[in-house]
Amino acid sequence: MDAMQTALVYLKGVGPERARLLKEELQLRTYQDLLHFFPNRYIDRSRFYPINELPHSNAEIQIKGRITSVSYVQQKRGKRMIATFEDQTGSMELVWFRGHKWIRDQLKINTDYVVFGRLNWFKGNASMPHPELELETNFNKNLKISFYPIYPSTEKLISKGISQKIIQKMMVQLFQNQTAPFSETLPSSILNQYKLIDKDKAIRQIHFPDNPHNLTRAQMRLKFEEFFYMQMQLVLKNSQRKQKIKGHIFETVGANFNTFFNEYLPFELTSAQKRVIKEIRIDMGTGRQMNRLLQGDVGSGKTIVALLLILIAIDNKYQACLVAPTEILAQQHFQSLAEQLQKLNVSVKLLTGSSTKKERHSIYEGLQNGELSVLIGTHAVFENTVQFNRLGIAVIDEQHRFGVAQRSKLWQKNEIPPHILVMTATPIPRTLAMSLYGDLDLSVIDELPPGRKKIRTLHRTDSNRLKVFAFVKEQIALGRQVYVVYPLIQESSKLDYKDLMDGYESLSRSFPVPNYQISIVHGQMKSEDKTFEMERFIQGKTQIMVATTVIEVGVNVPNASVMIIESAERFGLSQLHQLRGRVGRGADQSYCILMTGTKLSREAQTRMETMTSSNDGFQIAEVDLKLRGPGNIMGTQQSGILKFKIADLIQDQALLKAAREQALRIVTQDPMMKDADHQCIKRTLTGLKFDSNIWNFIS
């Protein structure tokens, strides 16, 4: 076995108790893990702060001086031990709350110490709780290390005495054990092209850098490596799937497609829509299963692309399904597609959580005997009872809710799986798409249909409410319709419902019947009531739609030209952009009004400013990523693929792009990894567990 796979318990100075803590607190099990446990910062060991020049913060710093006395102070919760520490410029206190006897026995009075720790300020006096001390003579002996690595730690580790010094000692021990150089994991072609330093040097320098320059190079090399292996896994997964998994071949473009295209297509396709359809058609003709992500901004026209692809499937005697994230959206897709499909005599049905038993049975039967060609629905379509006869394509209109697992559930049932097209509801930043969906092929609609007027977005506060209402009245007088959306962060939140109902009542007073009619839709209503209210709004019987975010995705009412978002500060950027996308669908100038309180956090202010200044979903998604970080976007927390040890999706975008290019190049040129230069990749990959961080080897 590889020596690097040795359990940490065998490392000198670790032992069973520490090994257990390291595993529990930091998930470190083996030498390999410890080696790839990187410092998150470094202290320049040549720098000491004079006590009279300490920074007024909680910084971690180094000081040099002597302990002049030790005393104890009785407190409610036990004793506190205080050492007075002096240098030539002043004095401060070192404080211990625990372990007094053991520490006191070691402390030497009036002897030169180097002290390291975090500053604490109280009433203008600095102290340092639980500092790390080293006799200056020892410190000078050990000064081979010029930068002091500081590793991530936890409260528990610190309280159990696993200090920075202990972790550093473990690292030193690890390097002493390892006399041979660490083996290279990147091919020389890549090292040369990007002038990366070798693995051995990188791993030594990341822990104990000689100087800042070497540290930067080590970090860059390791970041590249981390991105590269993530991308290798994704790209390989895609290419292996293409080799292994057969797909239905859609050869013909037949009567349904042609009739629709020539007679019923309501508008000319944009060139982006045409390009995307072509990409997808090529993919569906190869005999391999398609797994593709279709990205496009809100309103870019993804639905028509889905419809045309569904028609191709039917022309080739296959069935198709379209899955939407919410019941309302499924209904709306159903209504608009059913209308189109019926003109062509294509049978289509809707399956949702509220379909009756009878409806279900007739759907199951139709799917089995092939009479039913298209099924539209919510995730109810993924249930095991739903069995297609010949499912050719599954289109998933995703609102970041269908995870990877669900994507594959659909096709486990079929011998030859259907082609799968995932359409994102909002744009995803490039880097995130590369990591999250790097195993899928990507098509992008990067163009909006012509003639769209830019939605004007305004930020207003409660004091402007009367003016906003007056504006709404003007718009209604012009024959337009208006959405008023309330946040419903948690389905169960009573307070949010109260806000919604209060808002509805106040609107009813300002917009009284019979001149005005108001619809209301929220998650706690029965599905048929929701549909009824939606219908009234779609048909123009009501002028105002009061709703929670149930209308967030996909709802299409071209006559609606004003979107008012209440408590807009409580929404995330992508949600705000989605909501705004509900207007601007007709020929009229549309407006989005963000209502907030007057006091906003800095982040909320940035969100409002981003919305008022940009209509570009891709740009907004980038800001969102920066504000919230990759882990908080679209329920990605569960995805191991985003847990980087050293690389950073936001800071290191250029490296990620390069790493993906290299992974694609190598898999294309040498899929079997036969090249001598690629042996290191092959070896490294066999040790990796998919979806886990690349350096968490299988043990």
Pick from 269, 344, 458, 680: which binds ligand ADP (CB under 6 A)? 269
Instruction: Round to whole Å and give the CA distance between 571 and 568.
Output: 6
Stretch that binds ligand ADP, among 107-115, 300-308, 537-545, 613-621 (CB under 6 A): 300-308
Contact pattern from residue 547 through residue 586 relative to ligand ADP, giving x for each residue in contact according to CB under 6 A and a dash for the rest? ---------x----------------------------x-
Nearer to ligand ADP, 119 or 308 (CB): 308
Stretch that binds ligand ADP, among 71-79, 100-108, 251-259, 301-309 (CB under 6 A): 301-309
Instruction: Round to whole Å and give the CA distance between 507 and 469.
Output: 9
Instruction: Round to whole Å and give the CA distance between 15 and 10.
Output: 7
Pick from 418, 554, 581, 630: which binds Mg ion (CB under 5 A)? 554
Chosen from ligand ADP, Mg ion, none, partner binding at 301 (C-beta under 5 to 8 Å by type) = ligand ADP
Which residue number has the CB closest to ligand ADP? Answer: 301
Please give the C-alpha separations between residue 620 and each of 114, 568, 572, 594, in angstroms, as whole numbers.
49, 15, 11, 16
Question: How many residues belong to the site for Mg ion (CB under 5 A)?
Answer: 1
The DSSP output letter for 448 is P
- In the chain, what are the helix, strand and coil shares in percent, each to the nearest 5? 45, 20, 35
The DSSP output letter for 642 is G
**Sheet with 419-424, edge to edge strand ranges:** 348-351, 374-377, 319-323, 391-398, 419-424, 291-296, 441-445
Q: Closest Cα partner for 204 from 165, 169, 174, 163?
A: 174
> Which residues partner with 361 through β-bridges?
none
Residue 258 burial (CB count, 10 A): 12
Question: How many residues belong to the site for ligand ADP (CB under 6 A)?
Answer: 15
> Which residues partner with 71 through β-bridges?
82
Q: Closest Cα partner for 166 from 178, 179, 149?
A: 149
CA atoms within 13 A on the CB side of 16: 0
To ligand ADP, the closest distance from the beta carbon of 666 in angstroms equals 35
Q: Is the dihedral of CA 637, 639, 640, 641 positive or negative?
A: negative
Pick from 61, 202, 298, 410: which binds ligand ADP (CB under 6 A)? 298
User: Can you read off the two tokens belonging to residue 526?
Assistant: 């029965």
To ligand ADP, the closest distance from the beta carbon of 585 in angstroms equals 5
Q: Are 167 and 151 in contact (CB under 8 A)?
A: yes
Instruction: Round to whole Å and give the CA distance between 138 and 131.
Output: 16
Chosen from Mg ion, ligand ADP, none, partner binding at 662 (C-beta under 5 to 8 Å by type) = none
248 makes contact with ligand ADP (CB under 6 A) = no
131 makes contact with Mg ion (CB under 5 A) = no
Q: How many residues does the chain have?
A: 699
Nearer to ligand ADP, 190 or 350 (CB): 350
Stretch that binds ligand ADP, among 248-256, 302-310, 361-369, 464-472 (CB under 6 A): 302-310
Nearer to Mg ion, 367 or 425 (CB): 425
Coil vs helix vs strand at 249: coil
Coil vs helix vs strand at 5: helix
Pick from 117, 131, 187, 296: which binds ligand ADP (CB under 6 A)? 296
267 makes contact with ligand ADP (CB under 6 A) = yes
Nearer to ligand ADP, 282 or 587 (CB): 587
Stretch that binds ligand ADP, among 265-273, 428-436, 593-601, 607-615 (CB under 6 A): 265-273
Pick from 117, 301, 377, 503: which binds ligand ADP (CB under 6 A)? 301
To Mg ion, the closest distance from the beta carbon of 442 in angstroms equals 18
Residues 428-438, buried b or exposed e (16+ Cβ, 10 A)? bbbbbbbbbbb
Contact pattern from residue 417 through residue 456 relative to ligand ADP, giving x for each residue in contact according to CB under 6 A and a dash for the rest? --------------------------------x-------
Chosen from Mg ion, ligand ADP, none, partner binding at 556 (C-beta under 5 to 8 Å by type) = ligand ADP
325 makes contact with ligand ADP (CB under 6 A) = no
300 makes contact with ligand ADP (CB under 6 A) = yes
Nearer to Mg ion, 483 or 644 (CB): 483
* Positions in the binding site for ligand ADP (CB under 6 A): 267, 269-270, 273, 296, 298-304, 449, 556, 585
Name the site residues for Mg ion (rule: CB under 5 A): 554
